[in-house]
Amino acid sequence: MLVLASSSPRRAMLLREGGYSFETIKASVSEELPEGMSPETGVRELAVRKAQAGLTHWLDQGGDIQDVIIGADTMVVLDACILGKPETQAEAEEMLQSLSGRTHVVLTGVALISGSGKLVSDVVETIVRFHQLGVDVIKAYVASGEPMDKAGAYGIQGEAGKFVESFEGSLTNVIGLPMENLSEYLRAWGIEQTNIASREVDDGLSAFKGSTRGPSTT
């Protein structure tokens, strides 16, 4: 049995689209990190914390120790500063302004754990370049509410796909799970896709699929 320790609908969507059958469980953890910890170490640490918390809940509610729990965390990093989820609309506007016309890194940490004592974790990096964004465009996007539950105040899979000039690396990694690497780990742990044909109705990713460059807005 596979269990996703996350309340992110995007992570569940990616895993479902990847063809996996799984349960979900909440994994509330402290997201405080020691001062000076690098983003790479921090994102891995949070993924492991979420997987461990998920495992504890799962076993408490009668899960089997052989079951595999996935935890993940996504951070946007600009000039070594971590941009998490914005707390206010003003903060979301500031984040988008700082990303405008610049290149940033999206890091996702992913951890797999089982009650039998196995643990593996990884950090995957995607480099994203934004077009220059006008103040009105930023304000309208923030007013839509879309940025508020997303690291860096944008969702590449939604309207903000238009902000992206280009990207290098995994697209699913930006949305919350590095599916290419994750499926390798799952395969190594004996978990295969059960529903290869699984696809949700157009989720906004189709414009990007099969390409490492985002669509142009020009």
Ligand X SMILES: Cc1cn([C@H]2C[C@H](O)[C@@H](COP(=O)(O)OP(=O)(O)OP(=O)(O)O)O2)c(=O)[nH]c1=O
Lay out the site mask for ligand X across 27-66 (x = CB under 6 A, - = otherwise). -----------------------x----------------
Piece of 112-120, 129-137, 169-177, 202-210 that binds ligand X (CB under 6 A) = 169-177
Tell me, yes or no, if 202 is annotated catalytic: no
Asked if 119 and 69 count as a contact pair (C-beta separation under 8 A), the reply is no
**Amino acid symbol at 88:** T
Q: Given 64, 73, 122, 149, which residue is catalytic?
A: 73
Asked if 152 and 103 count as a contact pair (C-beta separation under 8 A), the reply is no
User: With contacts defined by CB under 6 A, how many residues of the chain interact with ligand X?
Assistant: 23
Q: Please pick, from the candidates 6, 121, 170, 172, the single residue that binds ligand X as defined by CB under 6 A.
A: 6
Nearest Cα to 189, choosing from 5, 17, 1?
Answer: 1
Q: Please pick, from the candidates 45, 67, 73, 93, the single residue that binds ligand X as defined by CB under 6 A.
A: 73
CB of 202 to ligand X, least distance (A): 16
**Cα–Cα separations (whole angstroms), residue 46 to 14, 60, 64, 93:** 19, 21, 23, 26
**Is the backbone of residue 72 left (phi > 0), alpha (psi -120 to 50) or beta?**
beta
DSSP letters for 181-192: HHHHHHHHTT--
Binding status of residue 183 toward ligand X by CB under 6 A: no
Q: Please pick, from the candidates 18, 63, 152, 214, the single residue that binds ligand X as defined by CB under 6 A.
A: 152
- What does DSSP assign to residue 125? E
Select 63 or 161, whichever has its Cβ closest to ligand X.
161
CB of 30 to ligand X, least distance (A): 12
Q: Please pick, from the candidates 154, 163, 167, 185, the single residue that binds ligand X as defined by CB under 6 A.
A: 154
Nearest Cα to 92, choosing from 42, 163, 37?
Answer: 163
Q: Where do contacts with ligand X occur on this chain (CB under 6 A)?
A: 6-8, 10-11, 50, 72-74, 76, 85, 106, 149-152, 154-157, 174-176
